[in-house]
């Protein structure tokens, strides 16, 4: 039920804002709006505002909406009202009406990000966990438990890093743009700050997939290597581990934090599989040195080997690592609005870059998501609280705004391309070409929808 409700609410908000953008600018330009509909098909409910010519409606299929304006191309228009028709308006007015829908979605994203910035958000501190062995961060000299104070791309000024999520966003941008990132670290034993260069340009990563941060080597914030909840009957319980045990060493490896401990456990699955002869792996116990209530203790821990995607990984049946330390990230009125604008711009550019890479084959079409994935993430974000839901809504609003600005004939961006042609040549696109372009645009859009739906089903079944 939560999935359905959150999906309908998400679509409703995005559609209302998008269509209201068209409607508001059309009215401001003196165009007569005949109908404002949220959803398609047979109207479930209609109403009119006093002394207004527009009929408002809610349709049966809540997968879109439309604003129907007076237009001589669609139906005969009374000569008395010809000046109110859309097709008789100046080029700049028609372009403004068409662009208003996507722009409304982008402005909504700015507002949503700003609201989150103003209210504040608890985020993990920018304290680094141990890097993945052999990764970019490992080769750069990071060892874990360093605090990232500032960061900057090559040629840019250093900026304060407020949280680990702030750092993660910068890493994503740098990896996809091929830009090196300088981190200014603090928290060393002598208290001095030191710069570290992450050569993200050498990754050659076309997309932000699950392997991106493993290649970078920064998977999460630093956490204490302590055992959390232990699953009854799991390997941890059978080996004598208790919640609250602090792990100091596994075999010959000194444990620095929870991330490193998880990596050591996970890697043990591959080691056991390689040492096995035949189908069954021979699992030997690991020697764990722990602290329990301040007292040292040695246990023999035998992880359980499992197959994940054809790869042998080890599990111990317990939550590994304490929760990270959090910090409240909050901005003032102007700073919050500005940061909301910046984040909307950055997400828009990132979305366009990913779409461009998919077109030229540098990124997988698996990155396309459809309504099933949106519904799934809407429910998950809503279950985490209103802040997470607002961030999700902002992200989808940016995606919708950018998508509608693409130069496809059936989208707002396609109509803007028509107006650009008209502005350059002084004449509109011919009806014959308009029909051809519309057919091509519909074919492309249907293809994208099919791929997105296929990806949705694959993710859900996988």
Q: Are 433 and 406 in contact (CB under 8 A)?
A: no
| Active-site pick, 19, 123, 146, 263 | 19
CA–CA distances in Å: residue 400 to residues 200, 338, 390, 427: 29, 21, 15, 30
The phi-psi region of residue 120 (left if phi > 0; otherwise alpha if psi is between -120 and 50; otherwise beta) is left
CA–CA distances in Å: residue 458 to residues 114, 313, 455: 35, 23, 5
CA–CA distances in Å: residue 257 to residues 131, 320, 325, 368, 450: 10, 10, 13, 36, 44
Bridge partners of residue 184, in order along the sequence: 150, 195
Edge to edge, the sheet with strand 295-301 lists 253-254, 246-250, 286-292, 295-301
| Torsion angle of C-alpha atoms 270, 271, 276, 280, degrees rounded to 10 | -40
Give which of 89, 42, 45, 51 is closest to 70, Cα–Cα. Answer: 89
Q: Contacts from 212-215 at CB under 8 Å and sequence distance 24+?
A: 212/172, 212/175, 213/168, 213/171, 214/132, 214/135, 215/135, 215/136, 215/175
Give which of 125, 150, 109, 119 is closest to 398, Cα–Cα. Answer: 109
Question: Integer distance in angstroms from the first to the last C-alpha of the chain?
Answer: 22
Q: Which residue carries 């102007």 as its tokens? A: 334
Give which of 280, 285, 282, 261 is closest to 272, Cα–Cα. Answer: 282
Q: Are 320 and 308 in contact (CB under 8 A)?
A: no
Pairwise CA distance, residues 149 & 248, whole Å? 28
Q: Are 261 and 253 in contact (CB under 8 A)?
A: no
Pairwise CA distance, residues 315 & 302, whole Å? 9
Pairwise CA distance, residues 236 & 252, whole Å? 19
The phi-psi region of residue 103 (left if phi > 0; otherwise alpha if psi is between -120 and 50; otherwise beta) is alpha
Please say if 19 is a catalytic residue. yes
What is the set of active-site residues?
19
């Amino acid at each position: 039920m939560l999935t359905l409700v959150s999906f309908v609410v998400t679509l409703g908000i995005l559609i209302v804002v998008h269509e209201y953008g068209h409607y508001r600018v059309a009215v401001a330009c003196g165009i007569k709006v005949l109908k404002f509909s949220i959803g398609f098909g047979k109207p479930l409910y209609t109403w009119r505002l006093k002394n207004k010519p527009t009929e408002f409606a809610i349709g049966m299929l809540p997968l879109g909406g439309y604003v129907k304006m007076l237009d001589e191309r669609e139906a005969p228009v009374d000569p008395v009202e010809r000046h109110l028709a859309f097709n008789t308006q100046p080029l700049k007015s028609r372009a403004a009406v068409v662009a208003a829908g996507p722009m409304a979605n982008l402005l909504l994203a700015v507002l949503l990000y700003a609201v989150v910035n103003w209210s504040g958000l608890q985020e993990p501190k920018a304290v680094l966990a141990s890097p993945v062995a052999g990764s970019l961060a490992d080769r750069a000299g990071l060892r874990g438990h360093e605090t990232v104070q500032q960061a900057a791309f090559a040629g840019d000024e250093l900026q304060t890093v407020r949280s680990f999520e702030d750092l993660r966003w910068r890493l994503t941008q740098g990896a996809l743009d091929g830009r090196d990132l300088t981190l200014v670290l603090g928290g060393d034993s002598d208290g001095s700050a030191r710069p570290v260069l992450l050569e993200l340009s050498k990754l050659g990563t076309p997309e932000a997939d699950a392997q991106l941060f493993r290649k970078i080597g920064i998977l999460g914030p630093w956490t204490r290597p302590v055992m959390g909840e232990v699953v009854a009957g799991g390997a941890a319980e059978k080996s004598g581990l208790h919640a609250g045990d602090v792990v100091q060493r596994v075999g010959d490896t000194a444990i620095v934090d929870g991330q490193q401990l998880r990596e050591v456990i996970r890697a043990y699955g591959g080691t056991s599989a390689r040492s096995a002869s035949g189908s069954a792996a021979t699992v030997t116990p690991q020697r764990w040195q722990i602290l329990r209530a301040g007292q040292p203790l040695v246990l023999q821990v035998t992880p359980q080997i499992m197959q994940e995607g054809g790869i042998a990984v080890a599990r111990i049946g317990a939550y590994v690592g304490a929760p990270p330390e959090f910090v409240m990230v909050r901005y003032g009125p102007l700073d919050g609005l500005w940061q909301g604008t910046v984040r909307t711009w950055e997400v828009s550019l990132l979305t366009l870059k990913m779409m461009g890479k998919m077109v030229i084959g540098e990124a997988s079409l698996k990155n396309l998501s459809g309504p099933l994935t949106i519904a799934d993430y809407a429910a998950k974000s809503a279950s985490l609280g209103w802040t997470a839901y607002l961030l999700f809504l902002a992200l989808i609003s940016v995606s919708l705004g950018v998508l509608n600005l693409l130069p496809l004939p059936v989208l707002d961006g396609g109509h803007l391309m028509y107006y650009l042609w008209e502005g350059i040549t002084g004449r509109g696109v011919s009806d014959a070409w308009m029909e051809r372009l519309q057919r091509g645009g519909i074919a492309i859009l249907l293809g994208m929808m099919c791929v997105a739906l296929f990806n949705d089903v694959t993710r859900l079944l996988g």
